[in-house]
Homo-oligomer: A and B are copies of this chain.
């Protein structure tokens, strides 16, 4: 049953003017109290606070934004036309980290999913409209238009994952990013396999248009510069793609005794194929994945040895860098950060 005596104040939201009137001060003073209370005597501060409480005053966001030119919102742009994102817990975890850290900064998260070039107009209009103070972008593809748009409109941005231009060796200080040490993590994984005495270590790679996949290939080659071409097989970061790549690999090189797989999903597909073919893991073939996605790596048979990256922490870090940039009056850009990885040993290697 609805409230029988509805409060008339409920529908008409009180304004700062009303608070000031009730507290018996001017609107300017009320405003000062609401924004921290600096330069106002304690008794008046208390009066205003009381009036705010009694009236249930909540500042009008639009009015405040209009004058401060700040709106306390950050856009998260994910450019991922493939279906993969939505079956990959990676983004969800990163967004969780981002959400938590944004909450700590009293900022809101506006989610922009980009699918196809047509959407870029929309994003452009949105950014140009000044709806958000900054952007957290996930630029996954090498042919991405996003960096150009962001540069053009000078929107403070932090990237998740090393953007392509940086991968070309042209680190742009105006496009800071947060990424895990893909190359170093890959090196550690391959070294681990080598240290187990494996002689023929293969690599199932991710899609070549993703920087993280390329970096992991580089890490593999750092340790095994002389590995045969055919030992590196392309995959697409999906379970099925991993299974196909493993099949291809076994057919081409029956002597393979270890595989470093570029992510956990593909590794789970690879494990399935190995099991179907009666190949023992890790006795005959040792397998190491990448990501340490709990729902996958702990559920495989056998449980997957893999390279952990702290996805949620990376999300939080992105927010911190962006806030640093927004709150530094100087407009100085923060440095990019590469977070460490850690080899998690389970049963598969």
Contact = CB atoms under 8 A, between A and B. Distances in A.
Interface string A229-246: 000000000111000000
Interface string A61-99: 111011000010100100000000111010111011001
B99 A60 contact: no
Contacts of A128: 13, 56, 58
A87 B295 contact: yes
B111 A111 contact: yes
A119 interface: yes
A166 to B, nearest CB: 16
Interface string A289-301: 0000111001101
Interface string A103-114: 100001111110
Contacts of A240: 298-299
A15 to B, nearest CB: 12
Nearest to A276: B301
A272 interface: yes
Tallying the copies of this chain within the complex gives: 2
Contact of A239 (B86, B96, B130, B299): B299
Contact of A272 (B92, B154, B301): B301
Interface in A128-150: 128-131
A125 interface: yes
A173 interface: no
Interface string A186-210: 0000000000000000000000000
A59 interface: yes
A144 to B, nearest CB: 19
A214 to B, nearest CB: 24
A162 B239 CA distance: 33
Contacts of A119: 103
A111 B87 contact: no
A122 interface: yes
B87 A294 contact: yes
A269 B296 CA distance: 11
A11 to B, nearest CB: 8
Contacts of A293: 87
Nearest to A83: B294
A283 to B, nearest CB: 18
Nearest to A91: B92
Contacts of A299: 239-240, 268-269, 272
B108 A126 contact: yes
B86 A96 contact: yes
Contacts of A298: 240
10 contacts: A62-B65, A62-B130, A96-B113, A99-B113, A100-B113, A103-B122, A109-B111, A240-B299, A269-B299, A272-B299
The 6 closest A-B pairs by CB, nearest first: A87-B295, A62-B65, A86-B92, A62-B66, A99-B113, A87-B89
Given A76-B111, A86-B93, A91-B92, 6 more contacts: A2-B151, A62-B62, A63-B66, A85-B92, A109-B111, A239-B299
